[in-house]
Structure 1
Amino acid sequence: MIMENEDYEDWRGRKADTSKHGGVIAAGFTCVVEVLENVVFLSNAINFVAYFMKSMHYPAAEAANMVTNFMGTSFLLTIFGGFISDSYLTRFKTFIFFCILELLGLILLAVQAQYSKLQPKFNERPSKSQAVFLYFGLYAMAAGVGGIKAALPAHGGDQLDHGNQRHISAYFNWYFFSLCTGGLISSTVMVWIQDNEGWKLNFNISIGTLSLALCIFTAGFPIYRLKRPGGSPITRIYKVFASAIRNRKFSPPPKTDILGESSSARTTRGKLRFLNKALMDEKITTAEVEETRTFLWLLPIFASTILMNCCLAQLQTFTVEQGNMMNRKVKNFMIPTQSLTMFPLIIMLASIPLYEHFARIIGAKQRTSGISNWLRPLKRIGIGLALASVSMAAAAVVEVKRRKEAVNNGAEISVFWLAWQYLLLGVADMLTLGGMLEFFYSEAPDSMRSMSTALSWCSTAMGYFISSVLVTIANSISGAFGRKWLAGHGLNHGRLDLFYALLCVLNFLNLLNYIFWAKRY
């Protein structure tokens, strides 16, 4: 595939010049910005539960649900941000708009944290006006996060030559590295600030950090190449579906070749043939049918990754609860509970340079700008899904050991026993999420890259929501047979090991489902 220069413009709206616009440096701006943006998002998300409980006086269960809803909404709104980016604004303008929106939300939260009149009295719930102020700031921030995470990775990918898949792959790996770097800073430095200096300083630092990210991103405008928005893809998909249904009784016209069609379109041309009946309508073009077909064929891959994110949800819920009941002392230092998430982040940060080194060795041996079959996104996602199943098996074994020592001997085993599930899930996340970002960007129709990339984040959100559903179902079924696996009176009285075993089996079955669809892509 050649670079589609006719679809790109510079900041003045003129045709982009490949000698002046785009390239590795322009893509690198997005990686730096992602570090800062993710520091802001995760540092607040990690400790919102404590803030809602201690400052806003919400009950623990309600505070936990508020955080879950905030994170799920943030990730689900990436679809909306991607739609705006693909349809009406360039990804550059989309980032600026949603970054300002997130800043607005942070400022409102900071103002509320600064002034006692905007906070409830001791042991009282917030008044309606205080709750409205809180929720307005919280969900303005969530909407901003959704737009940023949809537009930013796609904007970075737009800066590179789409004919060199190895460069695209390397970019998304280092983008994921930046994501993890921001997470590591959040779970260490920012957690310490929140615990020792309070929420007022935390919000002020978050505002300054996000403002810096906005300034850095904007500073690159002279060298960016900007993808022109192509109108609403949802409208085009609806038109194709409506036309195909209207003409379902007619034979479709002969297949027409498309000059310069993408590799993803050529891959899916023989699939979902019923859409060809939309071509009976003279207002529907072959390109629109192929765009619809390509996007729809991405959805089974997307659906196959959701269950893996249920496993990741455990790292912020039950795994943290396990850590609280284990020995967290390292000499005279007690590891903070919120900082347990640093373990998978460190593993992911270490795995990405190793992966890139391995990829360069293979590329050098092949002497090609392409990538090895084993490094292609679909293979990487598959390996990640397999490791997710293995990680849950390891987690079940560790929980059996922890519970046995706690119940029989009253002893606490070292928190570093959790390293097995952190290691396996960390590598699985690096392969799966990194592979998804690259796959959905590279295979998506040119006019839907932001929306398609957003599918990666939607998979994360749906994984968190489904995790809660699985807990409810597991408790209902196990309770009918005598004792709930995940009762509310402590892990030592439950059977978290059986829940982990259930996730292991479900993820293995999901892997088989993924292989079915991946082989047919």
Structure 2
Amino acid sequence: MHPSSPLQLPFSLRIINQSINPLITLSVQEEGTEAEACVGYVDWKGKPAVRGKHGGMLAASFVLAVEIMENMAYLANASNLVTYLAGFMHFSLSRSATTVTNFMATAFLLALLGGFLSDAFFTAYHIYLISALLEFLGLVILAVQAKTASLKPPPGEEAAGGKTVILFAGLYLTALGVGGIKGSLAPHGGEQFDESTARGHKARSTFFNYFIFCLASGGLLAVTFVVWVEDNKGWQWGFGISTITILLSIPVFLAGSPLYRNKVPTGSPVTTIAKVLLAAISSRRGNFQSARNAVVDLEQSSPAKESKESEVRGPGEELKWLNRAAEGRPLHRALLCAAHEVEDVKVVLKLLPIFLSTIMLSCCLAQLSTFSVQQAATMDTRVGGLKVPPASLPVFPVIFIMALVPLYDHAIVPLARRATGSDTGITHLQRIGMGLALSVVAMAVAAAVEMKRKRVALRVGEGFKGPLPITFFWVAFQYLFLGSADLFTLAGLLEFFFSEAPARMRSLATSLSWASLAMGYYLSSALVSMVNRVTTTSSGGVGRKGWLSGGSLNRYHLDRFYWLMCVLSALNLANFVFWATRYRYRSGQKQ
């Protein structure tokens, strides 16, 4: 069943499972010719998508517009939320920081759920609509609480009881919506391009570049205009702007409905992965041909087959231990695996080392919303007669990204294409590697800047009141380097996971890009705790506090922590190079 109008929500749908998907695929093949129909794709009415009519950059442009609105609504609150929690909910600074970190990490981690549902049961089109409504409801709760005095604690009293229930209900309903959007919007845009042509590959690469541009554009509006409103007009207005923005994104998204082509869900990719792994572990060795005959029926009914060749030949030579899933004798018929299922799981396993190599960069990025803001808060933040809020510091990397994306896509990439012969100019892994290398430089710069800031603090003495006589533009350098690293790595990751993952697992694989950010935030919290534990000493009744503890940032050894991050980032870069040089693209890119 398919919705009859773009306003009809997928709650009215029966869950699309593997028994229904083959019928949809056959319908696509029957109603369109081989030259016209996009096999495995339908329009918003559930009819076969047609090449030339559905998809393309015009359809993807609606996704780009929505990304500006979506990221503005999310980042406007995430970037300044610690101020609201400390100033209006009266949380301690440490609890406020932990709450913000957990909120952001959970939102990004829930992108995996959004990606999973987009691949397994619903289209990415429907997941966006559901998620936008969930985020809208969460923001409504937060806006009402910020507006209503009785729902906030009295001055000097920390929020507790029902007030915290309302707060966390709003926060995590918002996080659920954000996660669903992150897991569905980028894959939905990527699906609009025909990957069978070089032109389609180039257009898709441009889309992912401008997806980052639009993400940065939304961030620019968030950390300037909305943060100013929150600080000067009240948080109810800040939450209200975010609420209206995410609500308006829904009709903007729906306006592109006649142009979209939507990938038909093909069942749970997690089930396929688990089945292949279990079959490979438990299967007894047997005759390949006899086992092959047993899975022919499965392959004949497989929806939206990705490669006809994979249905004829057996599993490949990489990760040979998984071949037992197709070649061995399974303990039960339910564990019968087709060759293309085994190959799909191999691809996913090969992506995991790349994914794990990017978590350290995300850990570095986490410092921009914690220690870097605290550094700037001790410094002179005046620009002429204007005093810049520390929460607006991300404006530096955002503006840099917005300037770099068009230059990269329209100047650097064409030159690189002529030099390398690759449709994307610079390969996905090269882009990711550039980002990781920049993160090493960024942490070295951050350490040097903190050493300079502490020298100024020591010179003026502890009794000095007011901001230190050093401009916050010094801190902007680490924002620029880390912002550049984020641009190269996130754009490269999104396109890498999308293009390399099996078609039936693309949304879930693309969500790994956001999950990396979540893991980085969690790692950052764990690393800070570990560093403090290791560097805290006590001997003869005289204790020495850890590097990152104390009542004043000037007593911290933040520079040492940044040097540690620089060393860990360098080791991580070496680990990435090890895996990247051994990776073989399935999408035909040159190394």
Contact 1:264–1:444 (CA under 8 A) maintained in structure 2 = no
Partner of 1:310: 363
- Report the CA distance shift for 1:62/1:292 in structure 2 as closer, same or farther (over 3 A): same
Paired residues for 1:2-81 under 5 Å: 5-81=38-114
- TM-score scaled to structure 2, two decimals? 0.83
Corresponding residue of 1:278:
325
CA contact (8 A) 1:471 1:486 kept: yes
Decide which of 474, 485, 489 is 1:417's aligned counterpart.
474
Deviation at 1:371, TM superposition (A): 2.9
Quote the Cα distance in structure 2 between the aligned partners of 1:263 and 1:479.
60
> Is residue 392 of structure 1 aligned with residue 438 of structure 2?
no
Residue range with higher mean Cα deviation, 387-396 or 250-259: 250-259
Q: Equivalents in 2 of 1:484, 1:40: separation in Å?
A: 37
Measured against aligned partners, the alpha-carbon deviations of 1:10-49 in whole angstroms (never above 9, x if no partner) come to 1121111112100101011111100001111010112222
Give the conservation status (yes or no) of the 8 Å contact 1:112–1:134.
yes
Contact 2:428 2:493 in 1 (8 A): yes
Distance 1:184 1:263 in 2: 47
CA 263–118 in structure 1, closer or farther in 2 if over 3 Å, else same? farther
Structure 1, residues 192-214: CA drift from partner, whole Å, max 9, x if none? 11111101222221121111111
Once the two structures are TM-superposed, the CA of residue 50 in structure 1 deviates from its matched residue by 2.0
Alignment of 1:57-206 (within 5 A): 57-163=90-196, 164-206=200-242
TM superposition shift of 1:4: 8.4
Q: Given the alignment of the two structures, is residue 447 of structure 1 paired with residue 504 of structure 2, yes or no?
A: yes
Question: Structure 2 vs 1, CA of residues 172 and 86 (structure 1 numbering), >3 Å: closer, same or farther?
Answer: same
Please state how far the C-alpha of 1:518 moved relative to its aligned partner. Answer: 0.8
Deviation string 1:230-253 (CA, Å, 9 cap, x unpaired) is: 011111111111111111555766
Equivalent residue in structure 2 for 1:474, among 531, 552, 557:
531
Cα pair distance change 1:359/1:263, threshold 3 Å: farther
Superposed displacement of residue 367, structure 1: 11
1:404 matches 2:455? yes
Shift of 1:264: 12
8 Å CA contact 1:108, 1:133 repeated in 2:
yes
- Larger RCO of the pair (alpha carbons < 8 Å, separation 6+): 1
- Once the two structures are superposed, the pairs formed by residues 310-329 of structure 1 within 5 Å of their partners are 310-329=363-382
Alpha carbons of structure 1 residues 18 and 336: separation in structure 2 relative to 1, 3 Å = same
Report whether the alignment pairs 1:351 with 2:404: yes
Give CA-to-partner distance per residue, 1:486-519, whole Å, 9 cap, x none: 1222222121111111111111111111011111
In 2 relative to 1, CA 264–177 (structure 1 residues): closer, same or farther, beyond 3 Å?
farther
- Alpha-carbon deviations, 1:293-325, whole Å to 9, x = none? 111111110000000111111111111111112
User: Is residue 35–residue 179 contact of structure 1 (8 Å, CA) maintained in 2?
Assistant: yes
Shift of 1:369: 7.8
Q: 1:220 aligns with which of 256, 279, 289?
A: 256
Aligned to 1:515: 577
Cα drift, residue 476 of structure 1 = 1.8
Alignment correspondent of 1:261: 307
Q: Residue 465 of structure 1 is aligned with which of 510, 522, 547?
A: 522
Aligned residues: 517
Root-mean-square deviation over aligned CA pairs: 2.5
The TM-score, its normalising length taken from structure 1, stands at 0.94
Q: CA deviation at 1:145?
A: 0.3
Larger Rg: 2
What is the identity percentage for the equivalent residue pairs of Structure 1 and Structure 2? 45
Is contact 1:251–1:277 with CA below 8 Å preserved after alignment? no
Higher helix share: 1
Return the letter of the residue paired with 2:535: S
Q: Retained in 2: the 8 A contact 1:102–1:142?
A: yes
Structure 1 Cα separation of the partners of residues 237 and 371 of structure 2: 29
Give, in whole Å, the separation in 2 of the partners of 1:162 and 1:515.
Answer: 27
**Aligned: 1:243 with 2:279:** yes
Q: What's the counterpart of residue 494 of structure 1? A: 556
SS of residue paired to 2:46: coil
Report the AA paired with residue 81 of structure 2.
Answer: F
Separation in 1, partners of 2:372, 2:310:
39
Alpha-carbon distance in structure 2 between the residues aligned to 1:413 and 1:85: 49
State the alpha-carbon separation in 2 of the partners of residues 364 and 458 from structure 1: 30
**Contact 1:263-1:443 at 8 Å conserved across structures:** no
Listed one character per residue, the Cα deviations across residues 112-153 of structure 1 (whole Å, up to 9, x for unaligned) are 222223222333333422222222121111000000000000
The reply on whether 1:300 has 2:346 as its aligned counterpart is no
User: Please, which runs of 5 or more residues in structure 2 have no aligned partner?
Assistant: 1-34, 300-304, 462-467, 539-543, 584-591
Report if the CA contact (8 A) 2:497-2:509 is conserved: yes
- Cα offset for 1:271? 2.1
